[in-house]
Chains A and B, each alone.
Chain A
Amino acid sequence: GAGVSQTPSNKVTEKGKYVELRCDPISGHTALYWYRQSLGQGPEFLIYFQGTGAADDSGLPNDRFFAVRPEGSVSTLKIQRTERGDSAVYLCASSSGRGNQETQYFGPGTRLLVL
């Protein structure tokens, strides 16, 4: 079956611009996660959705970052007034959310470059 997909695969933008990154989770998965992976680092948690609501957004670095999941499926990560330090690979993962420590399935990521 289809895995987690993310679009675009690459995004180049200029400092100060607005970007949207999209994540399509595995069908039926209620839990969705966003992570950010900077060069040479492991992924860092940003936000977690259970259904339509953000259950934990403690990893968002500041108020320029926002994410939505209006129908409990597709999610969009939005970054306002992008800065060069936002350059990273943004990963999305989903899980069934039906039990403790359920396996998270990751997408291939969106590579964001802010010039």
Chain B
Amino acid sequence: AQSVTQLDSQVPVFEEAPVELRCNYSSSVSVYLFWYVQYPNQGLQLLLKYLSGSTLVKGINGFEAEFNKSQTSFHLRKPSVHISDTAEYFCAVSRGISGGSYIPTFGRGTSLIVHP
């Protein structure tokens, strides 16, 4: 079985400040890791994913995340946030399945609130 823990339900931050959203996972097998963003009244959108290779993954909108196997973490970071980054962020872990797809297990989400 696999699971994801997002340690912060809400993260308030001022515009142009750096931010880190924390994610820890547990799994007994090799995993694939994802971060999704959900803007108000919109569908989930993939920010970035770690499949293999370099542990530092760069995504859209200036976000990046680092896979740390020893700490079973996949924290999301951005050096300078904008008001428009205000949204719900979900970390997810998956295992590959036959047929070339994946089924993610999501965390409960972290609400990023950017203040002017």
Q: Could you list which residues of chain A lie within 8 angstroms of chain B, going by C-beta atoms?
A: 3-4, 31, 33, 40-45, 48, 50, 55-56, 59, 91, 93, 95, 97-109
Verify B101–A42 contact, CB threshold 8 A: no
Residues of B within 8 A of A (CB): 4, 32, 41-46, 49, 51, 90, 92, 94, 96-109
Q: Is the interface of B mostly helix, strand, loop or mixed?
A: strand
CB neighbours (8 Å) of B4 from chain A are 42
Compute the total of residue contacts between A and B using a CB distance below 8 Å: 71
- Given known contacts A42-B106, A48-B103, A107 and B43 CB-to-CB distance under 8 angstroms: yes
Are B51 and A101 in touch, CB under 8 angstroms?
Answer: yes
6 of the cross-chain contacts (CB-CB < 8 Å) are: A4-B43, A42-B90, A45-B105, A101-B51, A101-B102, A106-B44
A55 to B106, CA, bound (A): 20
The 7 residue pairs across chains A and B that have the minimum distance between CB atoms: A42-B106, A106-B43, A106-B44, A108-B43, A50-B99, A31-B101, A43-B106
